[in-house]
């Protein structure tokens, strides 16, 4: 693996660790909201069950007439608003930290890569400085331009309320015990948290990618970039299928909610082989079948396993991902449906022009099949390698400290070796 690819893989591992830390802290804070509302839900269950016992059919209209439910709605709105205010501040702080990290990572990558491919040290230093200044300015403008963050957080509350109301009505109507209905309705409080965690992850990784891309464009030594997926048991199959695709720097990376992909620069005079990245399909084939099923799902995995020859599997693999436009998140990648796969549809067009099957088009360079990649070590980093990276890289250390500050957890900003461990519940009580 080249020095640039290895360096960006270290940042990918650090982003994953920061995502896990952010998820833990935000979930810990959410526990207070759940605890405060469980008693109110239990009272609603009792009243709905009493209505059912009188021979009346529970409906949404009837539910909203109950004093206990109206009290629950008021309490839930207050609790969620309080949590949402804290969450928005935390997410915005993590987003700013991620944007700055993207600029620092790209600047260092340009420096390392430029020297590696024979660019003069003077030109490399000038390019790295221009990269950081351009990306920092772009990121700063993005962080202060507002956006739909608050609106997206509020949508989580509405979805949570609708889910809880339906659980109350359906559970009683199906004859479930009040304890069962109360437990199911209480579990539905997690719908709001799921929405918030999706927003946090998407904003953090999006800010990092946007700033990195601005950096690449400001450099005259980065000619294109290669998409790199998370490559773990939680990776999106669409992203894994697009892993290794090469794009011109003028093309923004497609993503989707919860996307954790990063982008590796291809410098002037470099080829994909020079990066030394292993191909994602080979990585997938090496995983246990239980992991493969979790990533791809049983239906897609069955289709994949039916392809006995390497070429057939590669062609199906390339069609696992398609492109669409999300109303909130914009152009993004999605898994191709099983029905479309059976019809031979799916995949990303390589010429950037709309086609009947792909009316949105995509400006991608030709996809390079796995057989053309140079085998290399896996992209994963051990806990010790990640700790060493944080301790020795000033940008990584600053990122960890900034994320901790945004989330309101230790260590202090002047500590030399920040911890990457997830905080305990006591930390955020």
At 427 the pLDDT is 30
pLDDT digits (tens), the chain, 429 positions: 778 888 888 998 899 889 989 988 998 888 888 888 888 888 888 888 888 888 888 888 888 888 998 998 899 888 888 888 898 889 988 988 898 888 888 888 877 766 555 556 666 566 666 666 665 555 554 554 445 566 767 777 787 888 888 888 888 878 888 788 888 888 888 878 888 888 888 888 888 888 888 888 877 778 889 988 888 888 888 888 888 888 888 888 887 778 888 898 888 777 777 787 778 888 899 999 999 999 988 998 998 888 867 778 888 888 888 877 766 656 677 788 888 888 888 877 554 433 334 333 333 333 333 322 222 333 467 888 888 999 999 889 999 999 999 998 754 333 333 333 333 322 332
DSSP state of 264: E
At 250 the pLDDT is 84
Q: Please name the residues in contact with 252: beta carbons below 8 A apart, sequence gap of 6 or more.
A: 213, 331
* Strand (E) or helix (H) holding 158: helix 149-173
227 within 8 A of 243, measured Cβ to Cβ: yes
| Cα-to-chain-centroid distance, residue 242 | 15
Nearest to 131 by CA among 144, 154, 113: 113
| Cα-to-chain-centroid distance, residue 102 | 15
CA dihedral over 306, 312, 318, 321, signed as positive or negative? negative
At 359 the pLDDT is 37
Please give the backbone phi and psi of residue 6, each rounded to the nearest 5 degrees, phi first: -65, -40
At 340 the pLDDT is 87
Q: Please name the residues in contact with 91: beta carbons below 8 A apart, sequence gap of 6 or more.
A: 149, 199, 200, 203, 204
At 290 the pLDDT is 93
Per DSSP, helices labelled H in 174-225 are 178-187, 190-218
At 85 the pLDDT is 87
DSSP state of 278: P
Establish whether the linkage from the previous residue to 411 is cis, with ω within 30° of 0. Answer: yes
248 within 8 A of 233, measured Cβ to Cβ: no
| Cα-to-chain-centroid distance, residue 24 | 15
At 118 the pLDDT is 57
246-248 vs 222-228, strand pairing mode: antiparallel
Q: Please name the residues in contact with 187: beta carbons below 8 A apart, sequence gap of 6 or more.
A: none
298 within 8 A of 394, measured Cβ to Cβ: no
Angle formed by the axes of helices 121-143 and 190-218, to 10°? 140
């Amino acid at each position: 693996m080249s020095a640039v690819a290895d360096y960006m893989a270290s940042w990918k591992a650090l982003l994953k660790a920061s995502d896990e830390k952010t998820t833990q802290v935000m979930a810990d804070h959410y526990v207070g909201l759940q605890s405060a509302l469980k008693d109110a839900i239990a009272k609603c269950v009792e009243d709905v069950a009493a209505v059912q016992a009188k021979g009346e059919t529970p409906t949404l209209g009837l539910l909203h007439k109950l004093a206990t439910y109206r009290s629950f709605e008021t309490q839930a709105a207050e609790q969620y608003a309080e949590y949402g205010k804290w969450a928005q501040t935390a997410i915005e702080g993590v987003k700013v930290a991620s944007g700055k990290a993207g600029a620092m990572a790209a600047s260092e990558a340009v420096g390392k890569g430029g020297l590696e491919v024979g660019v003069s040290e003077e030109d490399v230093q000038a390019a790295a400085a221009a990269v950081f200044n351009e990306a920092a300015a772009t990121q700063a403008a993005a962080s202060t331009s507002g956006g739909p963050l608050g609106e997206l957080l509020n949508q989580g509350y509405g979805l949570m309320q609708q889910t809880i109301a339906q659980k109350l009505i359906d559970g009683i109507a199906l004859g479930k015990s009040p304890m069962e209905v109360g437990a199911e309705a209480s579990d539905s409080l997690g719908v709001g948290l799921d929405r918030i965690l999706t927003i946090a992850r998407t904003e953090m990784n999006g800010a990092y990618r946007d700033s990195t891309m601005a950096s690449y464009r400001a450099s005259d030594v980065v000619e294109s970039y290669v998409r790199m997926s998370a490559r773990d048991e939680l990776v999106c199959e669409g992203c894994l299928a697009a892993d290794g695709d090469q794009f011109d720097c003028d093309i923004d990376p497609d993503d989707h909610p919860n996307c954790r992909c990063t982008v590796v620069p291809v410098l002037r005079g470099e080829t994909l082989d020079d990066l030394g990245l292993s191909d994602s399909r080979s990585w997938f084939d090496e995983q246990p079948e239980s992991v493969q099923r979790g990533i791809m799902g049983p239906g897609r995995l069955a289709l994949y396993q039916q392809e006995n020859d390497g070429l057939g599997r590669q062609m199906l693999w390339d069609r696992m991902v398609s492109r669409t436009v999300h109303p909130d998140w914009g152009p993004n990648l999605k898994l191709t449906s099983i029905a479309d796969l059976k019809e031979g549809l799916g995949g990303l067009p390589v010429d950037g022009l709309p086609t009947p099957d792909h009316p949105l088009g995509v400006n991608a360079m030709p996809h390079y099949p796995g057989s053309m990649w140079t085998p290399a070590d896996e992209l994963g980093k051990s806990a010790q390698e990640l700790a060493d990276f944080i301790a020795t890289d000033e940008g990584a250390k600053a990122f960890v400290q900034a994320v901790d500050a945004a989330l309101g957890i230790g260590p202090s900003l002047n500590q030399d070796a920040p911890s990457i461990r997830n905080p305990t519940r006591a930390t955020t009580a």
